[in-house]
Amino acid sequence: MDLVPIGTRLYACLQPDRGLGWSNSGLIAAGGGMVVDTLYDQRLTAQMADLYAEVHPKAPARVVNTHHNGDHCWGNKIFENAEIIAHTGCAERFDEFTPAQAATMAAMENPPARLTGLVAAFREFRFDDVELVPPNRVIDGDLTLDLDGLEAEIRYVGPAHTAGDLIVSVPDQGVVFAGDVVFHRCTPIGWEETHRAWVDALAAIEAMAPETVVAGHGPLCNTDGVRAMREYLEYVWEESSFHHTAGQTASQACQTIDPGEYASWNEPWRLAFNVHRAYKELDGGAWDDPYDTGAAMADAALLQERWAS
Ligand SMILES: [Zn+2]
C-alpha cells in the first residue's frame, strides 16, 4: 500500500486493486486527525496506521466509515479510541455479515463452483482475529466539521452503493473521499440502492468538480473518473431495461450484454451483479430488497470463464 499526498494535510492510502476487498482510505491530518475508512483486516489497517503516523504522529481523533462493507470498517479496532462516525444505514447493517462468517468461508475445503472466486478472494485476508468495533457517532444526514480551519463536509448520498453511503469532501482543496460510491477502472458492485440514487450521487460529486477523488477501489481519479462510472451504470441500466422489456431473464441478459469499453476494467464479469440488481428494480423491487446474489455469482462465474478464454 502507498501513502500519497493529495493536498495540504490530505493523504490517500491506496492499495492496488487486486479484486474484492482491496480498498482505499484517506487521512485528513488536521483537527486531531480524521481517517476515512479502515481496511478489511487488522493486519492491513495496522500497516496503514503506521503510514499515517509518519505524517500525523498522534492517534487520529476521528474515523469516518463510508459504509458497512467490511473492507471499509473491519479495521476499526486499530482506532478504537477514536470517535467513529457513520450513517444510520451503515450502523444498522454493521454486523449483517461478520468476520467469523468470512473466516468460515475462507476455510471451506471444497466450495461450490459459484463460490470459488469469493473463497479465494477471502483467503487473501486474515479474518479470524478481526473484532468488530461499531460506529459510536451515528448521523442521519450531513455533518460539517471544522478541522483547524479546514472544512470537511460529510455528506449522505445513499442509498447509492449501500444504504449508508457517506462521502467526505474538502471543498477548499477540491478533494472528495468517495468510498464505494466511486470505483475507478474496476467494475462496481452495489447492494442496497436504486439506480437513480447512485447516478444522482455520482452527478452530485461531478457537480463539485473535484480535482482529486479517492475512489473506494482503484487508483486516484478526478471528475472524469466519476463521469465514467456514472456512464457505466447508465449503460448497464439501458441494456438491462432493453433485455427486460424483450422478455429475457436476468441470466440471459448477463450472457448477452456486450461489456464494450468496460471489458478493460478489473473484474468485468461483475456486470452480472449490476444486471441482477437492475432486474430487481425493473421487476418492482424496493431499494432495500435483496437481489439474487447467488444467481449473480453463478452468472459472473460463467462470464469470467467465457471472457477469460
Ligand atoms: Zn469496498
Asked if residue 309 has pLDDT above 80, the reply is no
CA of 160 to the centre of ligand 1 (A): 13
Asked if residue 238 has pLDDT above 90, the reply is yes
CA of 68 to the centre of ligand 1 (A): 9
CA of 246 to the centre of ligand 1 (A): 33
CA of 163 to the centre of ligand 1 (A): 14
* pLDDT tens per residue across span 83-105: 999 999 999 999 999 999 999 99
- Record the cell numbers describing residue 56, joined without a space: 500525523
CA of 298 to the centre of ligand 1 (A): 21
Which CATH number is associated with domain 2-224?
Answer: 3.60.15.10
Q: Band the pLDDT of 191: cuts 50, 70, 90.
A: very high
* pLDDT tens per residue across span 209-231: 999 999 999 999 999 999 999 99
Residue with cell 452527478: 203
Global pTM reads 0.96
Asked if residue 245 has pLDDT above 90, the reply is yes
| Percent of the chain scoring above 90 in pLDDT | 94
The arrangement of strands across the sheet holding 175-183 comes to 143-147, 150-156, 166-170, 175-183, 212-217
* Helix H or strand E segment including 168: strand 166-170
CA of 302 to the centre of ligand 1 (A): 23
- Is the separation of the CB atoms in 251 and 210 below 8 Å? no
CA of 309 to the centre of ligand 1 (A): 28
Helix axes 271-282, 195-208, angle to 10 degrees: 120
CA of 248 to the centre of ligand 1 (A): 30
User: In 3-state terms, what secondary structure has residue 182?
Assistant: strand
Query: Average pLDDT, stretch 130-138?
Result: 98
Using a 10 angstrom Cβ sphere, with 0-12 exposed, 13-18 middle and 19 or more buried, the burial of residue 48 is: buried
CA of 247 to the centre of ligand 1 (A): 33
CA of 192 to the centre of ligand 1 (A): 14
- Is the separation of the CB atoms in 93 and 120 below 8 Å? no
What is the β-pairing status of strands 34-36 and 62-64? Answer: parallel
Asked if residue 308 has pLDDT above 90, the reply is no
- Is the separation of the CB atoms in 178 and 213 below 8 Å? yes
- How far, in Å, CA of 129 to CA of 37, rounded? 19
Q: Specify whether the backbone of 108 is left (phi greater than 0), alpha (psi in -120 to 50) or beta.
A: beta
Q: Band the pLDDT of 113: cuts 50, 70, 90.
A: confident
CA of 217 to the centre of ligand 1 (A): 6
- Record the cell numbers describing residue 188, joined without a space: 462496481
Least confident of 98-107, 149-158, 277-286, 299-308: 299-308
Give domain limits for the chain: 2-224
CA of 255 to the centre of ligand 1 (A): 25
- Record the cell numbers describing residue 95, joined without a space: 454486523
Greatest C-alpha distance within the chain: 59
- Residue-level pLDDT at 213: 98
Q: Band the pLDDT of 114: cuts 50, 70, 90.
A: confident
